[in-house]
Every structure is written in structure tokens, then in C-alpha cells.
A = this chain, B = another copy of it.
């Protein structure tokens, strides 16, 4: 193989596959290289919450509008991708209840509660919706629009739709090397090299290598997250419930996903006993009836974290042909559509909101205090 493409994407997680989809829709000649199987890394580990509100953390300038636009895109993608690829992305309404056990919890929710799309529910109102939730509660912020999806299905649906629209997908093809060659780039895998006008680095927490190869000093650190799932035989949790970075997400298949630990700098993708322990304890405080539910399965994944916990989406500062789309940390599923659209717009030189360009650009300043 020695082909030429307009764009070569490195990484077949939800980010790379979304990019492939949005570019293929523009009839661009795209190749995507995945070292393993499509969606088999961080993406398949995710809970699948589209937490525009719940993950916003006071950032109403950048994160929130970007996340909202992405969340909105999903409401259309669910039909669009199903129509093209036959995949069902497991879009599920219900929204998130962010629990407050006390006033301090409630204060933490204050800024998000100022949004018109978020409502405060007191204990009775919460327990009317979810009778099995802990009775220790003060109340909850109800974020109706923070629906959820099935992450691996989203990723595979993007990939297959892209393929149907003409993109070339290469699984089991780790990219080893990117080299400049005249006006384009040589992408080297174990077997082949292809040429491409643009290269998009989208291989999650493993992107550090390419920053380095391409003369940049950026580091991604993994934040390992462990999850388990249980069979919800009797109860019927209808909303995702959330407290202190832990959550219980109901799926369309009668399972509840309980997640997730946050273990910085651990590359090992297996689940530890102490992680299980923490998850079970935390789940019991939110939903006591969970103790009697039956274990279904368990897994872990690595969240790709940047220095300021915002993704890198933009051009290489000195090489316009190279783009990055990585570092989506806790929110890659949520942000995948908006990221795909933004990379498309960067390549096609369409207009993009300036705040987004600035916030996500590669050479943004590291706040002095966080520098290591």
C-alpha cells in the first residue's frame, strides 16, 4: 500500500471516528489508522453521559457552549447515523440528578443551578422520581438535557458511517512515525506508508509521542477510571445519579453502570480490588438498594488529561498541515461531535467561534502555577 489521502487521522477512538465522519461527509478523501480495534480503549470504558451541565464546573465561557452544541448535535446524529450505518447509538433520555447531601454540596451546585436548563429538586421531589435514592439527601440539581449514549456504539457508528461515505479505515495499524515530505506528510505504520496533506493526531492519551516527534513538549497524563456494571432487576433507575465525580448510569439493556475512580498516572488498564471497593461503597451511599444487585462486569480505561483539563483542538503552531484533537479527559464522548466539526472547519477554513479556537489551541499559555 502506498496511497495518497487528503487527511490521515491517527486514532480510532470516538474523537478520531467523529472527525473521520465529518470529513467524509464533505467528500474528503480520508484514512483513519487505529492501532488496535475501533473504540477499544478509553472510548469503550466511558459511562456515556453527555454532561454538558454536570461537567461544566463553572466554565460558562467556553466549555459550556461548546459542550451544549455537541450535546445538541447528538439529538440529530442518533437518526442520521442509524440511517446510514444501521447502528443504534443507545441514546437515552432521563438526564442527570446531581445529588446534594448537605448545604456545602448544594453550594457547589449554585453556579450550574443558575442555568435555565437546570432545576433544583428537594428531597421529596427527588424521591418521587427515584424512590430508591438515599434518604440522606437534601435535594438534587436536575439536568434534564444531560442524556446519555452507548459510547462504543457511537464510535462504531461514526466509523462505519464514515466508511460508507468513502473513508478508508485501517485497524491493527499503529502509526509509528510522521514525516514531512514536500507539501505533505508521510504516515508510517508497521507495514505501509501513506501520504496525506493533513494529519490529525487523535490517539487519546497516547498522543504525547506525536507531540514529541513533532517538536512539541506537551504531555498527556492518564487518569485511570474503573467501572462496574450491575443488573437492575427490581428497581428502575430512570435518571443518572451523580455525586462527587461518581455516578450510576442506567443503560437501555437493564444494566446500571457504576463509575468511576480517578487514578492519576496509572497506565495499567485492569481493575484493582481497591477500585472495586471504592465504587461499591460510593454506589451504596447514593443508591442503597444497589447492594443486593448482581454484578455483571467490570473494566477500566484511561482518560487523556491535559495540563488545564481542556482538550487540544487546533493546528500545530508551526505546521499548518498537522492538527491535534486530543486530551478530552472526562468528556470525550460528549465533545466528540463538536470536535469533529471543529477539525472539519479548521481544515476547510470555515469560520469557528474565536473563543473556542483560543481556548483549545495547542500553544495556549499554561497558567504559571500549574507548570511542572
Contacts and interface: CB of A to CB of B under 8 A. Distances in A.
Interface stretch (A103-111, A285-293, A359-367): A285-293
Interface of A: 82, 85-88, 90, 92, 153, 156, 160, 163-164, 169, 171-174, 176-177, 190-191, 205-206, 208-209, 212, 221-222, 230-231, 233-234, 236, 238, 250-254, 265, 267-274, 276-277, 280-281, 283-284, 290-295, 298
A267 B205 contact: no
A172 B270 CA distance: 10
18 contacts: A86-B250, A86-B254, A88-B92, A156-B253, A160-B233, A173-B267, A190-B205, A191-B221, A230-B273, A271-B294, A272-B292, A273-B283, A273-B284, A273-B290, A273-B293, A273-B294, A273-B295, A276-B295
Contacts of A270: 231, 294-295
A273 B253 contact: no
- Greatest chain B CB density within 10 A among A190, A238, A251 is at A190
Contacts of A88: 88, 90, 92, 252-253
Contacts of A230: 273
A291 B268 contact: no
A291 B267 contact: no
A88 B320 CA distance: 45
A337 B273 CA distance: 34
Contacts of A221: 191
B176 A209 contact: yes
Contacts of A85: 236, 254
Contacts of A291: 272-274, 277
